[in-house]
Amino acid sequence: MKPSMNALALAVLILASNAFSQKFEGLALTPPMGWNSWNKFGCNVDEKMIRSMADGMVSSGMKDAGYQYIVIDDCWHGGRDSLGFVYPDSQRFPSGMKALAGYIHSKGLKFGIYSCAGDKTCAGRTGSRGHEYQDALAYASWGVDYLKYDWCNSEGLNSIGAYTTMRNALFAAHRPVVFSLCEWGDTKSWEWAKDVGHLWRTTGDISNCFDCENNHGSWSSWGVMRIVEMRKDIRKYAGPGHWNDPDMLEVGNGMPVNEDRSHFSLWCMMAAPLIAGNDLRAMSKETNEILTNREVLGVDQDSLGIQGYLYTMQDSVEVWVKPLVHGDWAVCFLNRSAGTRKLEFDWSKNIIADDLSQRTLNTNETVYKMRDLWQKKSAGDTKKNISAELAAHNVLVLRLIPEQH
Ligand code: GLA
């Protein structure tokens, strides 16, 4: 072939592979659940620690509760070999990634890894820019099931192009991978990423506090409520296989238990991915009870995949609602204030119509039995008003079940 034919053949090949490329369908039909190293360990990752996290996910009961992915975030990288293939840091991962993936798989769990669309990751390690197809091949050969793909050092890149390139590379490598976009909402990924990835970060990084901003100079990380309040009108973009991701969990990383409980409840109301970020080897009973509460997890993992929303706020108490399967609803009352609040809520006066799901919660027409999901007990039915004391930064989460159900 003449060189010009070569170029033509290559162009045809690229066009064809783009035309037939797609994200892996049928994955993340409910919000992904797992663990990621970043929130607790930052760059301090190694294979021994990661293996013990897989052990912890099993022994803590989290695996049985539905958590699946063990994801190594930034800083696992060593460099690139003479052919341009990426390899892990040999001090931290002496047995290599394939062995580590094998261990994680042997526990019945799945293996996730991290890279970045720029040529360097956020922590300055080896990024994927210009090596997307090679990296996807490497991940497939190691047995990677989940890729978080960051957006540092992306100057001059177009986000749709960069993330689509990695999507295509993963698809071409033939190993199904959940693709987690991490461009922080900078280019409104929810508007374009439905066919590119399975989840996309909606904000900057979360911080281990309820309502603070942590200023790091050129950027800030954000407390739980700051994150919640940052993106108000994007629930319509979420659904099975494509989720808004308000960042990983800080449950068990130092907030008081009521704040952890509220954080977790809100993530479940928002149908958010539940990627734990605490030390799974050493968690308190309270943390464990939050992360493994199956009834609250059921709100997050509901098969309809409708993201809940803030319906109203009265006297610093927010009322969140989320339509669930079989005509059920989840309702979450959150005390935003620093003091105790007396909660009075008359169901009959609150007819809640959700335009997005076309569902209406009208207790004048349907009586609902109520279940308190944190107390794990019945809470009567909607013929009676809610009258309760809510401690500061605490929640009451109910599941409403139609009586004829
Ligand atoms: C960015 C991401 C974080 C984490 C770090 C790693 O800040 O948003 O979640 O992955 O990079 O350096």
250 close to ligand 1 (CB < 6 Angstrom): no
Type of residue numbered 383: K
- What's the pLDDT at 38? 98
Look at residues 265, 267, 263, 280 and name the one whose alpha carbon lies nearest to residue 375: 265
- What's the pLDDT at 21? 87
Q: Report the nearest-CA residue for atom 8 of ligand 1.
A: 205
Look at residues 274, 305, 302 and name the one whose alpha carbon lies nearest to residue 57: 274
Q: Mean pLDDT, 10 residues at a time, over the chain (405 residues)?
A: 62 68 96 98 98 98 98 98 98 98 98 98 98 98 99 97 98 98 98 98 97 94 97 95 98 98 98 98 97 98 98 97 98 97 97 98 98 98 97 98 84
Cα within 13 Å of Cα(233), Cβ side = 1
How close is the Cα of 150 to the center of ligand 1, in Å?
7
SS3 content of the chain, % helix, strand, coil (to 5): 30, 25, 45
Residue 8 CB coordination number (10 Å): 12
123 close to ligand 1 (CB < 6 Angstrom): yes
Can you read off the two tokens belonging to residue 17?
């592979």
Stated as kind and residue range, the H or E segment containing 378 is strand 377-381
Annotated catalytic sites, by residue? 150, 205
- What's the pLDDT at 222? 97
How close is the Cα of 183 to the center of ligand 1, in Å?
10
Ligand 1 atom with the smallest distance to the CA of 73 is 10
Alpha-carbon gap, residue 86 to 119, rounded angstroms:
12
- What's the pLDDT at 17? 66
Look at residues 269, 230, 214 and name the one whose alpha carbon lies nearest to residue 39: 214
- What's the pLDDT at 1? 46
| Residues shown for the chain | 405
Handedness of CA 245, 154, 233, 29 (dihedral sign): negative
- What's the pLDDT at 4? 60
Please state the φ and ψ torsions of residue 349, each to the nearest 5 degrees: -95, -5
Name 27's Cβ contacts closer than 8 Å, sequence gap at least 6.
176, 177, 178, 198, 241
- What's the pLDDT at 3? 52
How close is the Cα of 153 to the center of ligand 1, in Å?
12
Please state the φ and ψ torsions of residue 293, each to the nearest 5 degrees: -70, 105
- What's the pLDDT at 327? 98
Q: What is the DSSP letter of 310?
A: E
Cα within 13 Å of Cα(65), Cβ side = 26
How close is the Cα of 390 to the center of ligand 1, in Å?
35
Q: Report the nearest-CA residue for atom 6 of ligand 1.
A: 74
